[in-house]
Amino acid sequence: MAREAVVFKGTRHGITIQIDDEAEFEQVLTALREKLEPARDFFLGASVKLVAGRRSLAAGEQEALMEVAKEYGITLTTIDDEPRGTPESQEDLGHEPTLLVRRTIRSGQRIHYPGHVVILGDVNPGAEVVAAGDIVILGTLRGMAHAGASGDENAVVIGLHLEPTQLRIAGFICRSPDEKPPLRHGGPEMACVQGDVIVIRTYDASLLSGLK
């Protein structure tokens, strides 16, 4: 399987953009635009670190990357040429693009992203989050969330509280009941597909291995 020319990663320090060592530079620029376009409004004002791996970027290439980032309201804080890990360690960790949003998503706002989405805030009624992968909300989901939007029935939605107006995983749809019974053990909640329905249960990390 070919490696992606550009990979977004969420870390405790924010978002990093990692570019492939061997991809043609024009391919990198194209891939960067393709990753940024679906989330154009949500990168405005962000500072992002770019990791070039073993690639040695010429001055003109650095300027071109900065110009693309600027088109989407992003400031590249550093361009890092630190070496990557071994191929084995990369394979273990996987290359799963993740969008980190450090704010509440308000009514009328939308996030559509071709990877996982992590939100450090609430998703209010009237807001919409659509992801090809998992959705993790460190707050309350009261709007609409659609995980596995490309057809991944193993995708999950995790939040501190799940009270969605609508919740979708792949082609499955559900909504919160008018009176939602409290979960027995409390704590974060997870929605996943079981059989042919979406169920909401107390989050348990051990359950994720059974879904993948």
Tell me the three-class secondary structure of the chain, residue by residue: CCCCCEEEEEECCEEEEEECCCCCHHHHHHHHHHHHHHHHHHCCCCEEEEECCCCCCCHHHHHHHHHHHHHCCCEEEEEECCCCCCHHHHHHHCCCCEEEECCCECCCCEEEECCEEEECCCECCCCEEEECCCEEEEEEECCEEEECCCCCCCCCEEEEEECCCEEEECCEEECCCCCCCCCCCCCCEEEEEECCEEEEEECCHHHHHHHC
pTM above 0.75, yes or no: no
Asked whether 155 and 169 are in contact (CB, 8 A), the reply is: yes
Asked whether 38 and 114 are in contact (CB, 8 A), the reply is: yes
Average pLDDT over residues 7-33: 79
Name the more confident of 190 and 114: 190
Name the more confident of 125 and 81: 125
pLDDT digits (tens, 9 = 90+) for 126-151: 999 999 899 999 999 999 999 998 88
* Residue 79 in this model has a pLDDT that exceeds 50: yes
Percent of the chain residues past pLDDT 70, beyond the cut: 74
Name the more confident of 119 and 8: 119
Mean pLDDT of the chain: 80
pLDDT digits (tens, 9 = 90+) for 170-183: 999 987 665 555 55
Average pLDDT over residues 46-65: 81
Least confident of 48-52, 97-101, 118-122: 48-52
Phi-psi region of 151 (alpha: psi -120 to 50; beta: other; left: phi over 0): left
Domains of the chain: 6-92 (3.30.750.50), 98-211 (2.160.20.70)
Contacts of 51 (CB under 8 A, 6+ apart): 16, 17, 18, 19, 80, 82
Q: Token pair of 115, please?
A: 């990877």
